[in-house]
A and B are shown apart, each in its own frame.
Chain A
Amino acid sequence: MITDGRIVRLAEFGRAQLHFFLDGQMCSALAGDTVLTAMLASGHALRKSEFGPEWRAGFCLMGACQDCWIWQDEGSRIRACSAPITEGMRLRTTEPESWP
């Protein structure tokens, strides 16, 4: 199943749908998705590189590279490849404006 984002769903279609917010927009995901899967089913990247012009979309998916740490509206960061998505999560591809 082609998604709105980068990834293609190939199996495990029968899961409950849930909703989260990505940069303020409501998006849907499936229960059991990681934050990374959910974000990349709705978009093409997770965050902007701090050291270059390019976007980043994760790299190792096993918690070793730390490429996929992203921001939440509330200010705390999470590692997208290991955190499960939950209903109502508010995720960001950029740091909150309050960040110095």
Chain B
Amino acid sequence: MSETSPRIVIVGAGPAGIRAAAMLVEAGLHPVVIDEGQRAGGQIYRRPPAGFVRTPEQLYGSEAAKAVALHALFDRLAEEGRLTHCAASSVIALQEGRLHVLGEGGVQLVSYDRLILATGASDRVAPVPGWQSAGVYSLGAAQIALKAQGVALGQRIVLIGSGPLLTLVGAQLVKAGADVVAVLDTSSRRQQMQGLWELAARPLVALRGLALRARLGGRYHAGVTLERIEADGKGVTAIRWHDAGGREHLTLCDTIGVGWHLRAETHLADLAGCAFIYDEKWRQWLPKTDEMGRAGNGAYLAGDGVRLLGADGAEIAGRLAAVACLADLGFPAPSTASDLRKLARLERFARGLARAFPWPTAMARALPDDAVVCRCENVTAAALRQSTDFGGTEANRVKSLSRVGMGRCQGRYCQLAAVELIAAQTGCTPGAVGRFRGQAPVRPAPIGAFLRDG
């Protein structure tokens, strides 16, 4: 790397970050990759700690070859010294071309000329009364526990929500020998059929999903209505729900996995000054970029943190963001026509997913007054509704008054439901309610991390 070589920092070492890094290395650059994981791979291709013995086929199923290829590629580039890997490190703030990076040694400043954010996504969750109890987890958590630790999070598990992960996690847990007693999908079979035409854009993936669902057998119920999670002093004891025919059920369990597809992780994009738009299809705010991932101010976005296309889409988007970055720096950039065509097909499939497995708008809006919306600080639906009398319709005023979204998770898990509640209470659209502003630090940082020796 020459002295004048531009400094490019990539945040995130999942499929998007790894592909972006490889593309930059190919062009002769030396990117810095900052990632929270101990080992590169991201969440869906997350690697267990060293010394674990399950095969890639056991860990990643039909996607094993893709996972192995990405891991091998990244490890090779890191070993050859062609990139710098900052593992177990979190970017907690960014300002004026500098990242504040929290790692084991405290907070370091890392400056960049160009920034590629490949921050991924987490579960999009909606509150169900009782969801603050011990034993309620995101669907992603249940999958991470199995993949990275070889454990089930409880002895009797119920999975609730909708989307591809609901079926996938259920099938993976059943296959691994966990006791999954019910998989409750809030999307009706009729609703799911409406996504069929677009889902046909990836027939093999759609068929694989149906095969996984078949493994769930009688555990799977479509079109359910979720009523309440029951708990005692130790945690979850049962869930009350109605089936599509209106019959009431009380299913005993000690663990619940919850999720409605994904929510893009956008806090750093927000701090980088990206513009956002409310996306009606995904019922969430997404950063605005061009088709290559350019977001302005020297920032580029790739993967599920900007467009929810899954791991295959993230690999492509990572390459595209790197190509855009190279082109803007005046480097020769490879052709992107074929990648853009592939991405268009994945977009069509993703539209089908969004239609077939929708966000539960009506459920979120009808949340009972005594139910907790923000599980960080136990802010109830009643407190939030009352605060609109004083704060009006604007999300950040409701946040200041009710503290919803002000807790540990910084609104990552309550924001979308909170906005539905505000919209319903004040009679406006979620887009008009707005979104909680991202605030640094985007991860908690101990005071000690800012102290210097001497």
Taking Cβ atoms with an 8 Å cutoff, the residues of A that contact B are 2, 6-12, 14-15, 31-34, 37, 40-41, 44-46, 49-52, 54-67, 69, 76-77, 79, 82, 84
Other 16 A-B pairs with CB < 8 A, given A7-B151, A37-B145, A50-B377: A8-B151, A11-B54, A11-B150, A12-B52, A12-B149, A32-B51, A34-B148, A41-B151, A55-B234, A58-B137, A59-B375, A61-B137, A63-B443, A64-B412, A69-B408, A79-B444
- B122 to A9, Cβ gap below 8 A? no
Q: How far is the CA of A57 from the CA of B132 in the complex (A)?
A: 10
- A52 to B378, Cβ gap below 8 A? yes
- B51 to A45, Cβ gap below 8 A? no
Q: Which residue of A lies closest to B234 (CB)?
A: A44
- B146 to A10, Cβ gap below 8 A? yes
Knowing A12-B54, A65-B409 touch, does A82 contact B36 (C-beta < 8 A)?
yes
The interface residues of chain B lying within 8 Å CB-to-CB of A67 are 375-376, 408-409
Q: In the complex, how many angstroms separate the beta carbon of A8 from the nearest chain B beta carbon?
A: 4
- A6 to B154, Cβ gap below 8 A? yes
In the complex, whether B187 has a CB less than 8 A from a CB of chain A is: no
Interface size on B, residues (CB 8 A): 59
Q: Chain A at the B interface: mostly helix, strand, loop or mixed?
A: loop
Within 8 A of A (CB), among B404-424: 408-409, 412-413
Q: In the complex, how many angstroms separate the beta carbon of A77 from the nearest chain B beta carbon?
A: 7
In the complex, whether B136 has a CB less than 8 A from a CB of chain A is: yes
The interface residues of chain B lying within 8 Å CB-to-CB of A51 are 376-378
Q: How far is the CA of A45 from the CA of B137 in the complex (A)?
A: 12
In the complex, whether B77 has a CB less than 8 A from a CB of chain A is: no
- A76 to B448, Cβ gap below 8 A? yes
Q: Which residue of B lies closest to A55 (CB)?
A: B134
Q: In the complex, how many angstroms separate the beta carbon of B443 from the nearest chain A beta carbon?
A: 7
The interface residues of chain A lying within 8 Å CB-to-CB of B377 are 50-51
The interface residues of chain B lying within 8 Å CB-to-CB of A34 are 148-149
- B151 to A62, Cβ gap below 8 A? no
- A44 to B48, Cβ gap below 8 A? no
Q: In the complex, how many angstroms separate the beta carbon of A36 from the nearest chain B beta carbon?
A: 8
In the complex, whether B332 has a CB less than 8 A from a CB of chain A is: no
The interface residues of chain B lying within 8 Å CB-to-CB of A37 are 145, 149, 151
Q: Name the residue in B52, B141, B177, B376 with the highest tally of chain A Cβ atoms < 10 Å from its Cβ.
A: B141
- A64 to B409, Cβ gap below 8 A? yes
The interface residues of chain B lying within 8 Å CB-to-CB of A62 are 43, 122, 140-141, 144
Q: In the complex, how many angstroms separate the beta carbon of A18 from the nearest chain B beta carbon?
A: 12
The interface residues of chain A lying within 8 Å CB-to-CB of B235 are 6, 44-45, 54-55, 57
- A84 to B49, Cβ gap below 8 A? yes
The interface residues of chain A lying within 8 Å CB-to-CB of B443 are 63, 66
In the complex, whether B382 has a CB less than 8 A from a CB of chain A is: no
- A33 to B149, Cβ gap below 8 A? yes
Q: How far is the CA of A68 from the CA of B377 in the complex (A)?
A: 14
Q: How far is the CA of A40 from the CA of B132 in the complex (A)?
A: 17
- A66 to B444, Cβ gap below 8 A? yes
- A59 to B153, Cβ gap below 8 A? no
- A60 to B122, Cβ gap below 8 A? yes
Q: Name the residue in A15, A44, A57, A58 with the highest tally of chain B Cβ atoms < 10 Å from its Cβ.
A: A57
In the complex, whether B135 has a CB less than 8 A from a CB of chain A is: yes
A-contact bits for B147-175, CB 8 A (1 contact / 0 none): 01111111100000000000000000000
The interface residues of chain B lying within 8 Å CB-to-CB of A14 are 53
In the complex, whether B333 has a CB less than 8 A from a CB of chain A is: no
The interface residues of chain A lying within 8 Å CB-to-CB of B136 are 59
Q: How far is the CA of A65 from the CA of B50 in the complex (A)?
A: 25
The interface residues of chain B lying within 8 Å CB-to-CB of A6 are 134-135, 153-155, 235, 254-255
